[in-house]
């Protein structure tokens, strides 16, 4: 009898997991860069306004190397642990559209640039200061279909609506201002 209930429980759990979009996973990669995309995966920036997002590629690679699947995505900034949200969440940042492995459109209010592959780069600022002593941040990118958050923001699942197994992340650092303090 117990084995029967275990089988039913496992079956119900597998139906839940298969039906949840966050279990799908996302191939490809994201990188932080500068506005023209020439400093891919630099990871250390002088100020928050210097950090842009792109889907790659790294220098000297073809334009679709490490490309993301085509579709629409949301992004957010957190501390490195993902416990503290430092930017507006999900849909408040606008929609990034990927086509042919690169970001081709951004419908939002952040500053944009143009990379070497005619790809769009998206400025990550504004975001709040991190309390990480090394000035480290994490940018998240997740498919719109995997986003699990609704108003008010306290009703978000995962990490403020982003699930690690459906999202791409990249850590970066912003140098503290001269004289110390928390970076902008």
Closest CA to 32 of 180, 145, 175, 173: 173
Question: Confidence class of residue 3 from pLDDT cuts 50, 70 and 90?
Answer: very low
| Buried/exposed code over 128-141 (b: 16+ C-beta within 10 A; e: otherwise) | bbbebeebbbbbbb
pTM of the model as a whole: 0.80
Mean pLDDT (the chain) is: 81
Q: Are 105 and 41 in contact (CB under 8 A)?
A: no
């Amino acid at each position: 009898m117990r084995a029967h209930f275990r089988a039913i429980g496992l079956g119900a759990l597998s139906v839940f997991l298969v039906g949840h979009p966050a279990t799908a996973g996302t191939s490809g990669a994201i990188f932080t860069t500068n506005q023209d995309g020439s400093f891919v995966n630099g990871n250390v920036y002088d100020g928050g306004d210097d950090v842009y997002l792109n889907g790659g590629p790294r220098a000297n690679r073809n334009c679709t190397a490490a490309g993301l699947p085509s579709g629409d995505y949301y992004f957010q900034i957190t501390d490195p642990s993902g416990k503290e949200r430092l930017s507006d969440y999900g849909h408040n940042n606008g929609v990034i559209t990927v086509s042919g492995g690169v970001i081709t459109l951004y419908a939002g209010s952040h500053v944009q640039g143009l990379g070497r592959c005619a790809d769009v780069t998206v400025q990550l600022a504004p975001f709040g200061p991190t309390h990480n002593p090394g000035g480290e941040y994490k940018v998240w990118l997740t498919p719109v279909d995997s986003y699990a958050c609704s108003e008010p923001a306290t009703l978000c699942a995962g990490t403020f609506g982003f699930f690690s197994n459906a999202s791409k992340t990249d850590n970066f650092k912003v140098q503290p201002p001269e004289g110390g303090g928390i970076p902008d």
